[in-house]
Amino acid sequence: MALGDKTVRVRSLSFKLISVIAFVILLVEVAVFFPSLANYRASWLDDRLRVGGVAVRVFDAVPDVTDLPVEITDPLLQSAGALAIVYRRAGQTDLIALEAVTMPTETHLADMRDRNPLRLVVEGVETLLFGGRRVLRIVGVPPGAGDIVVEVVMPEGPLRADMLTYSVNILALGFIIAAVTAAVLYIFAERLLIAPIKRLTGNVLAFRRNPENGTLIITPDPDRDDEIGVLENALSETQAELFSMLRHRRHLADLGLAVAKINHDLRNMLTSAQLLSDQVATLDDPKVQRLAPRLVTTLDKAIGFAQTVLDYGRQQVTPPRPRRFSLHALGNEAAQAAGLHGHPTIRFDNQVPETLDLKLDPDHVSRVLVNLFKNAREALEVMGEKTPDPAVVLTAGREGDQVRIVIADNGPGLPPRARDNLFVAFEGSARAGGTGLGLAIARELTEANGGRLTLLDTPKDTRFALDFPLASLV
């Protein structure tokens, strides 16, 4: 458990943030360290040249350098840490060396007259890594020496020792600065950013586990008007809407389950009543003969309503399986299934070109057409002789960037209530006793195939349009 907690901490945003901050600061320190080290080495060597320049001026004050006693020359050289000092002017070269020193044959040149920054960095790193046992020849022009070129010969060990001490101090200071800066930035970021993100993350995870618990809806911080505040407000509104929607759907699901059970029992009772009404209809009593058809019709409507509700509850739209089919032939089949073909009073006019092929799910399209054809047939049957030459017309063709299929009838049109609640189950029916489920199912099937079912605005008749992407046109 402890190992798991440690892994979570390592993977947390807080750990990543402070690690990145510290790493970036250390990179900056390293980038600054090498030029700083080169500058320290150059200053150290310049100091030795200045001491050498002082020694030269002392020797110049005496007419003959060779007359200076060792008691004077050796302390001057030792104060510079030098084995010897060579100075050149006007083509003349002079040497001042310790009394008991043997001049080395192999030396490492440090020409301070060349101040190229890259060269200084490279030589500084070289001295730090590989120096210490070599002899340096420091060549340069000390301040105030005029045209005199001074060369100080000295061991490299003291320089490398001072550079190591300087490097340790700089690196230690860099780590301290990195740690302090990272801590300050982390505290600042933790308060303003990481803590709110942790709060949002914990709330989302808790609400996901139990979205019906209203106490888990996040309470936005009223003092924040930045991006985190906007996110908190949006999350709070989304959770509140989701909570209400889930509660509403749970109520609808419970109510739907109860209605389905009642509807199932009601259908069974109505079926039994229909059987009894069929037997009663065979009686010779004139009153029975007059009332029996009305009773049978009423029972048929009630059974049909109950069956429709059960079918809608079991409705499952399978994913579409597009394949090529002839819309003209499919329209004829749907008209046959909807009772339009061979109808004694209603004419069916299939104006779809026989060459028009679509690539959609033919079963889904057929069910949509059957629903729309049935609605048109029932509306025209209700009107009876009030509508001259009742007809249902099917047309299709390309319109702009889509394929449009139109189902039209010359009936009375839809009443305002049906238009206002179109495609809403149990509310969009245009006839008394209807459920409105046909249009709701037709819309679902159309949208499942990437299309759109709409009612076209016409003054009298009813026209439904099925619009599909142009890609469905073969």
Residue 287 forms part of a structural domain: yes
The CATH number linked to 427 is 3.30.565.10
Domain assignment of residue 136, yes or no: yes
Q: What is the pLDDT of residues 353-404, one digit of tens each?
A: 999 999 999 999 999 999 899 988 988 888 777 778 889 999 999 988 899 9
* Together in a domain, 302 and 366: no
Q: Does one domain contain both 87 and 170? A: yes
Residue 284 shares a structural domain with residue 342: no
Please tell me the predicted confidence (pLDDT) of residue 428: 47
Query: Is 125 in the same domain as 264?
Result: no
Q: What is the pLDDT of residue 80?
A: 67
How many Cβ atoms from other residues are within 10 Å of residue 363's Cβ?
15
CA distance linking residue 133 with residue 439, whole number of Å: 96
In a domain, 1, yes or no: no
Task: Return left, alpha or beta for 89; rule: phi > 0 is left, psi -120 to 50 is alpha, else beta.
Answer: beta
Which of 253, 278, 313 is at the close of a domain? 313
Pair 262, 170 in one domain: no
Kindly state whether residues 294 and 419 are assigned to the same domain. no
Give the pTM.
0.45
Question: Which tokens is 396 given?
Answer: 């299709």
Domain range enclosing 57: 10-180
- In this structure, is the dihedral angle defined by the CA atoms of residues 32, 37, 39 and 40, taken in order, positive or negative? positive
pLDDT at 1: 39
Last residue of a domain, one of 313, 337, 362: 313
Whether residue 364 is contained in a domain is answered as yes
- Number of domain units in the chain: 3
Q: Are both 23 and 151 inside the same structural domain?
A: yes
368: nearest Cα among 422, 424, 439, 467: 439
Q: SS3 letters for the chain?
A: CHHHHHHHHHHCHHHHHHHHHHHHHHHHHHHHHHHHHHHHHHHHHHHHHHHHHHHHHHHHCCCCHHHCCHHHHHHHHHHHCCCEEEEEECCEEEEEECCCCCCCCCCEEEECCCCCHHHHHHHHHHHHHHCCCCEEEEEECCCCCCCCEEEEEEECHHHHHHHHHHHHHHHHHHHHHHHHHHHHHHHHHHHHHHHHHHHHHHHHHHHHHCCCCHHHCCCCCCCCCCHHHHHHHHHHHHHHHHHHHHHHHHHHHHHHHHHHHHHHHHHHHHHHHHHHHHHHHCCCCHHHHHHHHHHHHHHHHHHHHHHHHHHHHCCCCCCCCCEEEEHHHHHHHHHHHCCCCCCCCCEEEECCCCCCEEEECHHHHHHHHHHHHHHHHHHHHHHHHHCCCCEEEEEEEEECCEEEEEEEECCCCCCHHHHHCCCCCCCCCCCCCCCCHHHHHHHHHHHHCCCEEEEECCCCCEEEEEEEEHHHEC
| 387 and 240 together in one domain | no
Residue 185 falls inside a structural domain: no
Q: What is the CATH number of the domain that holds 236?
A: 1.10.287
Question: What's residue 407's pLDDT?
Answer: 95
Statement to judge: residues 254 and 128 lie in one domain: no
Report if residue 450 sits inside a domain. Answer: yes
Among residues 288, 313, 338, the one where a domain terminates is 313
pLDDT along the chain (474 residues), means of 10: 46 72 80 88 88 74 57 68 77 66 70 88 88 84 77 87 90 82 79 81 85 79 82 86 77 63 64 64 66 62 58 58 93 92 90 93 92 89 80 93 93 71 57 61 86 85 91 81
Are both 330 and 463 inside the same structural domain? yes
Residues 47 and 173 in one domain: yes
Look at residues 432, 172, 217, 457 and name the one whose alpha carbon lies nearest to residue 305.
432
With respect to residue 27, please indicate whether it lies within any of the assigned structural domains.
yes
| Residue 391 lies inside a defined structural domain of this protein | yes
Same domain, 231 and 367: no
